[in-house]
Every structure is written in structure tokens, then in C-alpha cells.
Amino acid sequence: MTSAAAEALRALAPQLRGRLSFDVPLAPYTWFRVGGPAEALFSPADEDDLATCLARLPREIPALVIGVGSNLIVRDGGVRGLVIRMGGKAFGAIATQATIASSPAPPRSTRRSRAPPPKRRSTASPSCAACRARSAARSG
């Protein structure tokens, strides 16, 4: 990260309620306990804190969002830019507000018919000459 980008992130820190740290090893945050450092690591306090960070993050700073580190392997060289860790109590539950839209079924004449499944080739009669020769040699 350039010094200007690092300064931009440091200037952003007072506006954030979550924790913003620099040059943080990511190994303790992954289930495999491997990986190099993040140039910057941000753990937002809540959704508003995350929104503030993303809205004010300079475009030239790459951002990588991770969860709690499962199924994550970080290279030994680390991660450039800002790593946003979505863990903790603020992001521990998922709530949905769904609006279900429905429409009447289309008339039968406009419904697409399902295509028949493709025919399988018989294994008893191989299609290529080399396969037929091998098959004949085995059975002969």
C-alpha cells in the first residue's frame, strides 16, 4: 500500500467505531492458522460502521471481505489493501426480510416442454475403432 493510501486509511480511523489495525498477521483469523499479514484489517462494529468505511474508502485501495476464516487460505505474502473481517456479534446472525412476488402460471400452450434426456451410448459397442479393437482383444 502506498504511503498516501495508508494515510487515507489512518485518517478514516477516527470516523469508525470498529477496530482498524495495520500490518496484522491473518493466520490467527483462519481455521488453517496459516497466512501472511494484511496491510490493514478492519472489523466493523455494525452495519452502519461497515457502510461508513466502504463509502469513505479511497477507490485505489483494494478491499477483501472475509467471514470468520473458514475455507480461507491466505498466501504467505499477505494481502494488499484493506481486509474487512465480518465476524463477531454484529454479523453473527442473518435476518431476512422477504417479499414474495408471484404471478399466475402461464397458459399451457406457452409453457416450454422439457427436452428429453440425451441418449447414452451403449458400452457394449464402442464407437471408435481403437476402443472396438481393445474390447475385442479383452473378450477374445
67, 82, 4: which is closest to 37 by C-alpha? Answer: 82
Residue 23: per-residue pLDDT: 95
Return mean pLDDT, the chain.
Answer: 82
Q: Where are the beta strands (DSSP E) in 71-124?
A: 79-85
The pLDDT assigned to 88 comes to 75
- pLDDT (tens digit per residue) in 63-88: 999 988 888 889 999 999 999 999 87
Task: Give the pLDDT score at 102.
Answer: 60
The grid coordinates listed for 61 are 485501495
Q: Give the pLDDT confidence score for residue 96 in this predicted structure.
A: 72
Which residue segments constitute the domains of the chain, with CATH numbers given? 3-91 (3.30.43.10)
Identity (one letter) of the amino acid at 29?
Y
pLDDT in tens, 115-139: 666 666 555 555 567 667 776 777 6
Lowest mean pLDDT among 29-33, 50-54, 100-104, 123-127: 123-127
Residue 106 vs residue 56, higher pLDDT:
56
pLDDT higher than 90, residue 54: yes
Q: Worst-scoring range by mean pLDDT, 1-10, 31-40, 76-85?
A: 1-10
* Per-residue model confidence as pLDDT tens digits over 88-102: 777 877 677 766 666
DSSP SS3 for 36: coil
Span of 38-47, 84-93, 100-109 with lowest mean pLDDT: 100-109
Residues 18 and 43 sit within 8 Å (Cβ to Cβ): yes
Pull the grid cell for residue 98.
Answer: 422477504
